Amino acid sequence: MPELPDVESFKRYLDATSLHKKIKNVHVGNAKVLRGISGRRLKEALRGRSMEETSRRGKHLFAALDDGRWLTFHFGMTGRLAYFKSLDDDPEHDRLRLDFDDGYHLAFDNQRLFGRIGLIDDLDAFIASQELGPDAMDFSLDQDAFAKLMDGKQGGIKAALMDQSLLAGIGNIYADEILFQAKLHPDTRVQDLSTDALRKLYRTMRRVLRVAIDRGAGSEELVDRLPKTYLLPHREAGASCPRCKGTIKTIKTAGRTSYYCPRCQPKPRGD
């Protein structure tokens, strides 16, 4: 599932390819991805409009139209954006395609139909309705603010990192990477972490997300571009730990499969 680094890459991709272009036509490949609007109404709303700027909160991408409304994207399990000129390059699972008046196209490619597209009037109201916490890469979220967010929370640290109402953007894959780099077991309880430990976790989180963004998150080539000490290229049961050469194991954490190294990420004492 695309997480914060992937969606940030999609945001930059849209910025570089599709802003300030007049939308000539709209093709709805499958209306199942639409939320709160019909295909007909979306076509009417977008024809003749242009996307002027973008924003992002967690895993959600927003494109501001020149009439003040916002096009919303959530990429589900497999979504991505594709920009091209020839319709021969139109992705197989094109669910929405914007045809620009310069002959280029932007498609929402979403094989498993778990993605979502909508049109909203008020961005702040939408973010509130989705109960999204602060973005994990927000400039205003410093290490002390992060520690305060976690203050009083109960339960495992991985579940806390993935709680979108607490902190928006981190999913299963990057939670595993952050905890691996921080040498924390996925079941480590939030309430057992000191303020200094939470500050250290914050710094690790920001570094992991920044490295992923800078090295091409959202592309198949990312695993080859990450540092050798990262878990992601080795994220399978039985693989060799890139740090200690031990064996990567799996456990269930908050209903999700966690990949970790028992040697580098020992289980907390007393558990």
Active-site residue, 43 included: no
Q: How many CA atoms lie within 13 A of 262 on its CB side?
A: 9
pLDDT at residue 243 is higher than 90:
yes
What is the model's pLDDT at position 106?
Answer: 99
Residue 268's pLDDT band (boundaries 50, 70, 90)?
A: confident
Candidates 2, 5, 186, 242; catalytic one: 2
Active-site residue, 2 included: yes
% helix / strand / coil in the chain, to the nearest 5? 35, 25, 40
Over residues 81-94, mean pLDDT = 96
Active-site residue, 183 included: no
Q: Give the largest Cα separation in the chain, rounded.
A: 64
pLDDT digits (tens, 9 = 90+) for 168-203: 999 999 999 999 999 999 999 999 999 999 999 999
Candidates 56, 59, 80, 158; catalytic one: 59
Candidates 47, 256, 263, 268; catalytic one: 256
pLDDT digits (tens, 9 = 90+) for 31-55: 999 999 999 999 999 999 999 999 9
Active-site residue, 59 included: yes
Alpha-carbon distance 180 to 231, whole Å? Answer: 7
pLDDT digits (tens, 9 = 90+) for 196-242: 999 999 999 999 999 999 999 998 889 889 999 999 999 999 999 99
What is the model's pLDDT at position 270?
Answer: 63
The full set of domains in the chain, from first to last, is 4-129 (3.20.190.10), 143-260 (1.10.8.50)
